[in-house]
Chain A
Amino acid sequence: GNSVTQMEGPVTLSEEAFLTINCTYTATGYPSLFWYVQYPGEGLQLLLKATKADDKGSNKGFEATYRKETTSFHLEKGSVQVSDSAVYFCALARNAGGTSYGKLTFGQGTILTVHP
């Protein structure tokens, strides 16, 4: 079945440091890949997505590239801010006939804390 594995956290960084959160996946076919962010006490917000191999998703300074050869979708940001402190989830959704089935499979989440 489908699965997503994220690097274990928590991750603690100083402001303006470089961020990488690793994500690898197992899936049949060619899934769409996502990063969601969850701020304290809130639901999930879509951060970025990529729907096919070699696509790069980007938003708010975050980037991730869909690497089919390594089945990875690592999240990166060049300079983190205190406001980026949150839990980050990597997820996939199976594509069928060009559209996603709609069921998201999530990783376990990575807690990021950024200190001033």
Chain B
Amino acid sequence: ETGVTQSPTHLIKTRGQQVTLRCSSQSGHNTVSWYQQALGQGPQFIFQYYREEENGRGNFPPRFSGLQFPNYSSELNVNALELDDSALYLCASSLVAGATEAFFGQGTRLTVV
């Protein structure tokens, strides 16, 4: 059984650019959630995707968007990058939308300069 994998592991972008982060969910999981973890803080919920539809969103602006594909992998897109978007972005998959247990990937470290 493969775990949750994210790519890339690190990247550096310039303010104003756009970025796409990718996540492959754990085998058999149909729900993916994305979190932003700023340095020294706990993760903050961005949104969740269940069977290719957005299934809940946190307090993030519309320039944060996502997709889920038929194989349940997911993308997080951020437009018009700001310096404060620098963070570790974590993807978590769960068996179903209502599952009490989520499995996290190792994260993508985004630095905006």
The reply to whether B99 and A106 form a contact with Cβ atoms under 8 Å apart is no
Judge whether B61 is part of the interface by a CB distance below 8 angstroms. Answer: no
Classify chain B: how many residues form its interface, as a range: 20 to 34
The reply to whether A109 and B41 form a contact with Cβ atoms under 8 Å apart is yes
Classify chain A: how many residues form its interface, as a range: 20 to 34
On chain A, the residues within 8 Å of B90 by CB distance are 43-44
On chain B, the residues within 8 Å of A7 by CB distance are none
Q: Which residues of B contact A (CB under 8 A)?
A: 4, 6, 31, 33, 35, 40-45, 48, 55-56, 58, 90, 92, 94, 96-107
CA distance A109 to B104 in the complex (A): 16
The reply to whether B45 and A103 form a contact with Cβ atoms under 8 Å apart is yes
The reply to whether B104 and A43 form a contact with Cβ atoms under 8 Å apart is yes
Q: From A105, which residue of chain B is reached at the shortest CB distance?
A: B45
